[in-house]
Amino acid sequence: MQRRDVVILGSTGSIGTQALDLVRANPDRFRVVGLTAGGANKELFEQQVAELRPGFSGLGEQACVEAAAMACDVVLNGITGAVGLRPTLAALEAGNTLALANKESLIMGGPLVLSRAAPDQIVPVDSEHSAIAQCLRSGSPAEVRRLVLTASGGPFRGRSRASLAAVTPAEALNHPTWAMGPVITINSATLVNKGLEVIEAHLLFGVPFDAIEVVVHPTSVVHSMVEFVDGSTILQASPPTMLIPIALGLDWPDRVPDAAPPVDWSLVNTWEFHPLDDEAFPAVALARAAGRRGGTAPAVYNAANEVAVDAFRREALPFTGIVDTVAAVLDQATDVPSTEALTVDDVLAADAWARETAQRLIEAS
């Protein structure tokens, strides 16, 4: 077994720190040659650099782009948000395997990102898409009927839309099954995260939007499923942890022994699945519409949401105002370039326009 040289972008975040735990536990498999972070936790970053002594380290977006282009076996993009787009493109253009936890870069860039990727160069690290990738080993693409993404439902599962208006940031950050960063935790509470994952699944696996379903699964043990044309459904199950998808991302297509504890089958396990309440949580339907529209519409969806989430965290916007703001910005996005003509400048311009428009709408509300 040859040890893999790994670059980790976003090393101080949730994905990055867990990846480093896997590296420490498997020194015969992985060696860190590059580390970058945004700079929010400089003390931890300095500790990581001192411990692992990578050949390259740095803070900020440009450092991430440089690290992503290094000669290595795999780049783990664990950055949060739109700032991950340029590093994603840099990793792909350098020919590195891209373990992608930064879903925003794929959703923003869409076909622009895919056009730069060789077959199997992108390995999904989202638990849902990692689960689907594993399940797809059970059949050929022609045998797939639909993908089924599971959603925990977040902390407000079962609540009506009217009851969500007074939700506080502290309540939205109290996720029942996952420990994640603040932005993705709030995205899970609004189900914007699941909307982004629907677009991501469409792009990664080439499955039409009509063949991608979302079901609510509160315990988050089943990470997603693939239904085949003969009526069989293959699912991937494990306790709620990101260690398994991260390990697969670093060592794909091989599995890392003992990456995480399995389901304990000696205990009683009950798995519940519920339909998604689109009226209370319209984010998924809105994402489907943006995905079907194509062009820069997914980038607008993502950027408007990032601004709205920040406003909610500052208590400048109510919880339900997050998705309402995204919808309003999309309604104003009339000049959307076609998917075929999309450029990096188009994506970044749409991102900037959506942020400015969302901020203006929030300030006027």
**Given pLDDT bands bounded at 50, 70 and 90, which one contains residue 334?**
confident
Instruction: Determine the distance from the C-alpha atom of residue 158 to the mean position of all C-alpha atoms in its chain, rounded to a whole number.
Output: 24
The owner of tokens 């998917």 is 339
**pLDDT of 250 strictly over 90:** yes
Residue intervals of the chain classified under CATH 3.40.50.720 are 4-124
Give me the pLDDT at residue 6, please. Answer: 98
How much of the chain exceeds pLDDT 90, in percent? 86
Nearest alpha-carbon partner for 200 in 286, 308, 98, 287 = 287
Write the pLDDT tens digit of every residue in 120-147.
999 999 999 999 999 999 999 999 999 9
Q: Which CATH class is domain 132-230+274-364?
A: mainly alpha
Query: What pLDDT, on a 0 to 100 scale, did the predictor assign at position 145?
Result: 98
- Chain region(s) in the chain for CATH 1.10.1740.10: 132-230+274-364
With 0-12 CB in 10 A as exposed, 13-18 as middle and 19+ as buried, what is 134? buried
**Class in CATH terms, 4-124:** alpha beta
What's the whole-number mean pLDDT along residues 197-204?
96
Which range, of 8-22, 102-116, 339-353, averages the lowest pLDDT?
Answer: 339-353
Give the Cα separation of 233 and 217 in Å (integer): 16
Q: What is the mean pLDDT of the chain?
A: 94
pLDDT, residue 91, reads 98
325's CB contacts (< 8 A; 6+ apart) are 304, 305, 307, 308, 311, 317, 358, 361, 362
User: For 73-109, b where at least 16 C-beta lie within 10 A, e where not — what string?
Assistant: bbbbbbbbbbbbbbbbbbbbeeebbbbbbbbbbbbbb
Q: Please give, one letter per residue, the 3-state secondary structure of 6-34.
A: EEEECCCCHHHHHHHHHHHHCCCCEEEEE
Q: Helix or strand or coil: residue 188?
A: helix
